[in-house]
Chain A
Amino acid sequence: MDIEKYKKIFTQESGKYLQELNTTLIRVEKDLLNRDLWSDIHGKIHSIKGMARALNLDTVSGLCHSMEAWCKGFQEGSIIPTTDAVQVLMDGAELLKDLVAATADGVPFEAALQLKRIGALLTQPPDKLSPLAQPDVHSIPAPSKIDRIRIEYALIEELLARSQEIILLEKTLPPLSQDQISSGLRSWIDHYISMLRALHFQLSRLMLMPVEDFISLFDKTVRDLARTYNREVTLEIVGGDLQVDIGLMDRLREPFLHLLRNAIAHGVELPDERERNGKSREGKIVFKAEKRKDSLVLTLSDDGRGIDQTAIERYLRDTIGMSDQEISSMPPEELLQTILRVDFSSADETTQLAGRGIGMDVVAKAIEYLNGSMTIHSEPSKGTEFSIRLPLSLSIVYAIVFELGPHTLSVPTSHVASIERIQAASTPGGTLYDLGGRLGIDSGTRNPTHILKLRRPPSTNGETAGEIPDRFTIDAVIGNMPLMVMPSGELLARARSFAGVGIMENGDISILLDMENL
């Protein structure tokens, strides 16, 4: 993930944390000795600090660190909180908002003054603060601009269903012959219907969320689990900008909680143990999201100790009654699938299987319910990877839509390096790929006007393949636009050249090319 993208995520995420922080500080002001609230406040500040450190935003992380020190004391009960101290933390939270917003342009003068004042206060014992802690009425900020609201997912579903119903009203239009209907009215009806379809398309997009938003739901869980089990863990996201159906992801909350819990509690080793084994003290959990043809592939991997396969073999021998020969002839992947069995979960996993198996049957059932499948790969002392493949019920992809002969085709925008008019295309070297010929398009129907140059997508191991000279001519560029991508179906799949069918905002269709097979 590039740094600018991460900064954008940081701004969004910290904004959310700061908003919640303010709310919790207001609550704790009326319930000063509530350690749960202090723990929550501590967690939020800690999360902002972690993200700021990753981006080398020292001013933000330094302020968070000072605020965190107080909160830790309040949470543990070693320091008695006061309303003045809460006020300082509120001022600190407000200042953090300014600092986060100013990351690109440096610290503004007023923020720098505030930083000095609050920084000085935070070095004092919170129960003996000087009067400086009193809020300055002139600096009380106005509520920030309302640029987003929370709404129930069910309401979006309802709106979508309602818009679908309105579209269906078109079908109740009584059949009218040409002499009963004026061309003006026909045109008006067509326009009205096209507007309705666009509305439905926009509403459909409300059903989508970036994968990274889904993973951010687990930030605190990961932190809490790591603390509970004395692990040091980082959670990394790859492909977090992929937009997926909220309903689908919601059904994956529990399975991923199980997988994360297992990875932290039993996969990632204790820091000292990792160090002894030549690993970094901090374990890494990677969540990767990819779209492969008609499927969403979610992979959760850790660099921990891996699954203890001798425990699986023992189970198969003692409980299932398999012979050693039968067990040894099982393919490794099939052997690992044993942990998904219901009765396997009832085993004493902490001694038999390094913990793998807790609720794994629940995970398997949830994925089966979603018509998905899961594969497991594990290597001793290297880690474990769970790869979940799910049908993509709905996804939005930005794509370059173009014409080639009589066809309207598209490639994901992320795969396109450039588009040049043919007369201006003076890029040296490289031959043109005959896409039209590859797709069996009659050259007599073609009128090439542009050259589209492809950028191959990053490989699955995270490395970027870079630009390679895959260039082909196209007849006309329709535009760069969002497409609602639907599975291509059985017949199109037989051609092994298409990644899906894209529906444009106006309801028109574009065939999404499968770049890997071109």
Chain B
Amino acid sequence: MDCFIFEAAGKYLGIKAQYVYRIVDDVNPARVPLLPSCHAGIIYDRGDLFDVIDVGRLLENDSAPPPDKTTYVILLKWNQRRLGLIPERIVGIKWIQDTADKKSRTVFTSEGRTIQMISPEEIWKMLLDLPYGH
């Protein structure tokens, strides 16, 4: 499968490339009050709104506010949902052999990287578990 790999929270993370809608750069998400600190804001792209999430902060539960300016945002579309992810660094798309053990969350690339696979739905569920409002 094609896997989109990026770095966040000191790890290599992989997401099935089919969920990646596109990558945008030099964007300035509109900050929204009352949302968790990993919520970097909202962007409007091609008629859609995307909640932009700082993946590092989400995974490390960092409460410091996200940076004002972001370099890249990975836009994901799946089911009826839209999400933008701010990585620390984008590695790129790699072909990764489907393992027999579908439950395995960790894959290894030929370059020797250890990649933790994550699905958009898992990220979404993590977001829903966070406190909103007061």
Contact = CB atoms under 8 A, between A and B. Distances in A.
Given A171-B22, A440-B134, A497-B133, A492 B32 contact: yes
Interface in A496-518: 496-498, 501, 503, 507-511
Contact of B32 (A407, A490, A496): A407
A168 B46 contact: yes
State the majority secondary structure of interface residues on A: mixed
Interface string A386-401: 0000000000000000
B51 interface: yes
Interface string B54-94: 00000000000000100000000000011000000000000
Interface in B7-57: 22, 30-35, 39, 42-44, 46-47, 49, 51
Given A491-B132, A494-B132, A406 B51 contact: no
Nearest to A500: B49
Contact of B34 (A164, A171, A489, A495): A495
Nearest to A491: B51
A102 interface: no
Contacts of B96: none
Interface string A457-469: 0000000000000
A493 to B, nearest CB: 9
A510 B43 CA distance: 10
B32 A503 contact: no
Interface string A148-169: 0000000000000000100110
A513 to B, nearest CB: 10
A132 interface: no
Contact of A440 (B34, B47, B49, B127): B34
A113 interface: no
Which bucket holds chain B's interface residue count?
20 to 34
A456 to B, nearest CB: 22
B31 A406 contact: yes
Nearest to B33: A439
Nearest to B36: A491
A295 B81 CA distance: 19
Contacts of B51: 489, 491-492
A494 B133 contact: yes
Contacts of A497: 33-34, 133
A501 B49 contact: yes
A408 interface: yes
Interface string A97-139: 0000000000000000000000000000000000000000000
Most buried by A among B22, B43, B132: B132
A491 B31 CA distance: 13
Contacts of B49: 486, 489, 501
Contact of B39 (A491, A507, A510): A491
A406 B127 CA distance: 22
A491 B35 contact: yes
B130 to A, nearest CB: 9
Given A171-B22, A491-B39, A495-B132, A407 B46 contact: no
Contacts of A492: 32, 35, 42, 51
A441 interface: yes
A510 B132 contact: no
Contact of B30 (A405, A489, A508): A508
Interface string B115-134: 00000000000011000111
A407 B28 CA distance: 12
A408 B28 CA distance: 12
A250 B24 CA distance: 36
Given A168-B46, A492-B35, A501-B42, A511 B30 contact: yes
A497 B32 CA distance: 11
B105 to A, nearest CB: 24
A406 B41 CA distance: 11
A511 B44 CA distance: 12
A429 B111 CA distance: 70
A439 B34 contact: yes
Contacts of A441: 33
Which 8 residue pairs of A and B lie closest in terms of their CB atoms, listed nearest first? A509-B30, A494-B132, A439-B33, A495-B34, A495-B133, A495-B132, A491-B51, A406-B31
8 contacts: A164-B46, A408-B30, A489-B49, A491-B39, A491-B127, A501-B44, A509-B42, A511-B30
Given A405-B33, A507-B44, 19 more contacts: A171-B22, A404-B33, A406-B31, A439-B34, A440-B33, A441-B33, A486-B44, A489-B49, A489-B51, A490-B128, A491-B39, A491-B132, A494-B133, A495-B132, A495-B133, A496-B133, A501-B42, A501-B49, A503-B44
